Amino acid sequence: MPDQPAARVLIAKPGLDGHDRGAKVVARALRDAGFEVIYTGIRQTPEMIAETALQEDVEAIGLSILSGAHLTLFPRVMEELRKRGMDDVLVWAGGIIPAEDVEACKTMGIAEVFGPGSSTQETVEFLRREIPRRRARVTTQ
């Protein structure tokens, strides 16, 4: 069986949050692990994130947020993805997201949430496990 192509992953900073060190660390770790990474930079709207994901043909989107606006911004990102027919894109999140909000995030379609103290290796392993599952589902539909 031929090797799968490197997954294209988008790392995005929704909203007015200007702190991007964590997002850059994750982006570098994913690149080092063999993923093709596109980083949007800070202060992205949900529309900008979804449009970049569409234009770059990504398989996964990592949302990094520290501002506390996740319950407002994440549903908007998910809606913008749906509007563009990108329901099959794997979306995960990281940053400062209270434990009591994790279930709400997952209900809206965020596949996993990595909080403070999570290792970049956890994210790498998550993507290595979940992207092939998504690829298999898409090819059988």
Q: What mean pLDDT, rounded, does the chain reach?
A: 94
The answer to whether 10 touches 62, Cβ cutoff 8 Å, is yes
| Rg of the chain on CA atoms, in Å | 14
Average pLDDT over residues 103-127: 97
pLDDT value of residue 17: 81
Query: Which residue did the predictor score with more confidence, 140 or 1?
Result: 140
Average pLDDT over residues 123-128: 98
pLDDT-based confidence at 3, cuts 50/70/90?
low
pLDDT value of residue 141: 64
For the cut 60, the answer to whether the pLDDT of residue 14 exceeds it is yes
Query: Which residue did the predictor score with more confidence, 3 or 44?
Result: 44
pLDDT value of residue 2: 47
Nearest 5°: phi and psi at 10?
Answer: -105, 130
Q: CA-to-CA distance for 11 and 3, rounded, in angstroms? A: 24
pLDDT value of residue 140: 73
pTM of the entire structure?
0.94
Q: CA-to-CA distance for 8 and 15, rounded, in angstroms? A: 22
- Chain segment 55-100, per-residue pLDDT in tens: 999 999 999 999 999 999 999 999 999 999 999 999 999 999 999 9
